[in-house]
Structure 1
């Protein structure tokens, strides 16, 4: 492919380092400006360098020019992988990660300015032990809100300070007016990370509320505005005022607890701990390493010998977490439900929403201004017969007849989800259907989530509609930040479902509801606003959650529901194959997959599934056979596992641990999986042979 500017940077005059690193593609301001305006492809970010240091001087004062210049240059260096700006070969996503990591290190230095004597010693005064302490602190938590800003600790201190500043009489008055402040749910207790005594939580809520730190209303509840709090806590930082994770323990709900899912979810990942992994760690280390450039730029920086010693330092890092395996039975249940929803109701739901959109555009009115009776009349009798009675269960209704005001429109949790499964709200059904399509396409295509999210609805297929087009993830190296376009064969079922989403967007554009075609998994506003949002990881998770609650996906032994995610589906296409073509095959699955030729189907699976996901599926299917009584067919493997787990009955071991160990042995070449195709009562079947090295 051609690189941007046709490699014109090769003809550029070589700039002095101070000039070359005095600008960046993302920097919209002059280098010397006290406030930088930064553009990383989204809304502009402001970096305010006018912060107070440990000696009460400002970073922008003339006396601190070397320190300020060193921080600014180091930030630019950290986001570059070449002296020449146009020669950078990184994606926008990688650039953004490097930028935010670098700004995080700068804020760490500013927060600890007093201990580091930053105003007097400057960057050249940073010692080896101080740099290692910085890296060790960053490694303690994957969230910069905790590792850099100590958000939970600082929020605790701030809350108790505000409590002490508000009079007891005012606290009593606020609590009397807001009795829901006394309520603390089990969910809030479970997620609590603050060190505030539980008996003080109601009073803390009242103090923060009185002091103006809450946002919300009676219907949706009240939540602490983290930006407003951060503005007060992190005054002397460049970006400390950005939004932080919500501390749910401080939220209160006058009309009942806010909820998004019916049940607590099974954790999606396990292992890995809460610390940084090596990839994340390297982003932060990149900033310190880049300080080597300061000497050539002409700005004082850390001693190169110290940087050399720090280069070999590696704190204890977290291993990458593993995605929890969703039981095959749960997958089959959701897969069957998604197909049936598509056949019986899905297209009708999208058509009904488009009718509402067209009606509102033609009459210049908002969706939420429609009465329930109008909604039923416009969408038609077919949807009414399926149970549709209103625009949405959770969105506001501003009509004079059905006006909901700011009251809690969802009602009690049990009643809400019963109405969801009775098809009462149209908007919720749109989310269920998009979740169903995500599930089937994600399962059959086994692509990474970012690849699916970036599929343009206007160019999703090739001309034959037999290949899915997408930007390949992790393919931007040496392509100047541009990902490679790739194509993979796509099952006709997935084509049919995605075509519904394409037609949906086309109709919304034609109806005047939307101005352009977006990515294929775009979603309408759940609040009934006149807007369509591009698909995102958040919207994809929301749609998956609606799907799982609608079809009541299984729960584990602890009563937690399996809410699936795309990462967990990447091995599922292979699992479906093993169940569909194994002994005692399921004809329905064969029909769904559309492959009567078993060996052709196997080729499709191996071509569309990466090696790690395929190996994980193979390990899971063998583990399932072990734990359902098929142990004797794998005697050599049983003996190998007995030695590792130290028990004669391997089935006493946790199935997840068994599958993990097996997958490791397969990656090491100790165990080999081999499918064998043989004649059977249902046609050609597959049997699984397991070879153990040396057995």
Structure 2
């Protein structure tokens, strides 16, 4: 905040930097002045702002400059991972906050982008001072109807962990401080804001800046690499729909009724039948069908798993061949790709393997949607070691047509 306010107080008018001579005069020395900023603000941010910051904190973090690195700067990402740039670290911080909030709350990206600059917690109390309070996240529900219309009027609340409430509270405090110091570009801010380094202001988030912050943490923490067909390695970048899908995956992995009930409530349905109708006919249905497809693929590839031992896997292979005229990736194709990839001496998965898995999952999703295959929970009651009766389920896989 101090760096922003210090920079914002300097002029951004061209040629306002008195330390840089006019390039047409005799005092201008190219080797000295060519790369010097023409504005007072730019020169201050390049050469003097560091001396105004907390020296102990700067030294502890290893910060060497305030301004972000240029897009094509050499060895940029290594320098960012070394904490060299304060403003680049802001992007990593906001991306981390987005990631943690997104993966815990399972919200749509539009719901996170539209969170207000403050007042997102219920109750609106400092979580650092009220340790025993259960907090909810307040947001605008975004959902797609059959006609594609967006409903953004309904305000609902869903629970979040106290640790996430503390993150949100800190962000809100930072946003309020920026507002009070006049460091806001535009009339309003959101919860996750973008930093305009040139103007030394915060700006409202957008889908583009939201994704850029997620990219920042992927580069900073070095998410896995993918080997392309030309041998080039490229990084995998996260998006909020993947975090939301991960939340749905937990429903299957947990295999507890409480997980299903929590999912039903988080999606705002009144009972299980409504939930399954929603799963089969709406946007969340596509998400959960995708999850089911992933479960089937991974279950088939696990030679020691239960799915591989089922007779219905042979029926599934026949259905895939018939449905797609052998033009799609079938299970045997995928297994062959993986066997070839195992011969490589690189730890990154081969792009052909990822494509094969994605294509097979896409085919399975279509079969799930049409009802030609199914992966559904069978509910039953069990008595645990404490004598308590609880409801749980097993997953049943079935091929309905061959």
Does TM, normalized by the shorter one, top 0.5? yes
**Aligned counterpart, 1:652:** 335
1:605: Cα distance to partner?
Answer: 3.0
1:522 to 175, 193, 202: 193
**Aligned counterpart, 1:189:** none
1:641 to 312, 316, 332: 316
Partner deviation per Cα, 1:345-383 (whole Å, 9 max, x = no partner) = xxxxxxxxx132344567888476135564265144234
1:103-502 map, 5 Å = 354-360=1-7, 366=41, 369-371=44-46, 374-375=49-50, 377-394=52-69, 411-412=73-74, 415-463=75-123, 465-474=135-144, 483-492=152-161, 493-502=163-172
2:374 to 671, 680, 686: 671
Distance (whole Å) between structure 2 residues aligned to residue 513 and residue 367 of structure 1:
16
Distance (whole Å) between structure 2 residues aligned to residue 563 and residue 430 of structure 1:
18
8 Å CA contact 2:8–2:200 kept in 1: the answer is no
1:626: Cα distance to partner?
Answer: 2.2
8 Å CA contact 1:548–1:563 kept in 2: the answer is yes
In the alignment, structure 1 residue 616 sits paired with structure 2 residue 276: no
8 Å CA contact 1:545–1:564 kept in 2: the answer is yes
In the alignment, structure 1 residue 562 sits paired with structure 2 residue 236: yes
Give me the TM-score of the superposition, normalised by structure 2: 0.64
Q: 1:691 to 1:510 in 2, by over 3 A?
A: same
Partner deviation per Cα, 1:488-512 (whole Å, 9 max, x = no partner) = 4132143333323212211111233
**Aligned counterpart, 2:277:** none
8 Å CA contact 2:65–2:86 kept in 1: the answer is yes
Q: 1:556 to 1:367 in 2, by over 3 A?
A: same
8 Å CA contact 2:7–2:200 kept in 1: the answer is no
Distance (whole Å) between structure 2 residues aligned to residue 546 and residue 538 of structure 1:
12
Alignment RMSD: 3.7
Q: 1:509 to 1:640 in 2, by over 3 A?
A: same
1:475: Cα distance to partner?
Answer: 6.8
Instruction: Say which SS state the counterpart of residue 469 (structure 1) adopts.
Output: strand
8 Å CA contact 2:6–2:49 kept in 1: the answer is no
Q: Which runs of 5+ in 2 are unaligned?
A: 12-39, 125-134, 268-283, 322-329, 337-355
8 Å CA contact 2:111–2:141 kept in 1: the answer is yes
Q: 1:577 to 1:476 in 2, by over 3 A?
A: closer
1:431: Cα distance to partner?
Answer: 0.6
8 Å CA contact 2:299–2:307 kept in 1: the answer is no
Distance (whole Å) between structure 1 residues aligned to residue 189 and residue 260 of structure 2:
34
Instruction: Say which SS state the counterpart of residue 571 (structure 1) adopts.
Output: helix
Q: For the pair shown, which has the larger CA radius of gyration, 1 or 2?
A: 1
**Aligned counterpart, 2:261:** 603
1:473: Cα distance to partner?
Answer: 4.4
Give me the TM-score of the superposition, normalised by structure 1: 0.39
1:671: Cα distance to partner?
Answer: 0.7
Partner deviation per Cα, 1:253-287 (whole Å, 9 max, x = no partner) = xxxxxxxxxxxxxxxxxxxxxxxxxxxxxxxxxxx
**Aligned counterpart, 2:278:** none
Q: 1:599 to 1:511 in 2, by over 3 A?
A: farther
8 Å CA contact 1:454–1:471 kept in 2: the answer is no
**Aligned counterpart, 1:214:** none
Instruction: Say which SS state the counterpart of residue 53 (structure 2) adopts.
Output: helix
Q: 1:640 to 1:447 in 2, by over 3 A?
A: farther
Instruction: Say which SS state the counterpart of residue 183 (structure 2) adopts.
Output: coil
1:534: Cα distance to partner?
Answer: 0.9
Q: 1:640 to 1:367 in 2, by over 3 A?
A: farther
Q: 1:509 to 1:606 in 2, by over 3 A?
A: same
8 Å CA contact 1:626–1:651 kept in 2: the answer is no
Q: Which runs of 5+ in 1 are unaligned?
A: 1-353, 396-408, 583-597
**Aligned counterpart, 1:662:** 364
Distance (whole Å) between structure 2 residues aligned to residue 482 and residue 576 of structure 1:
27
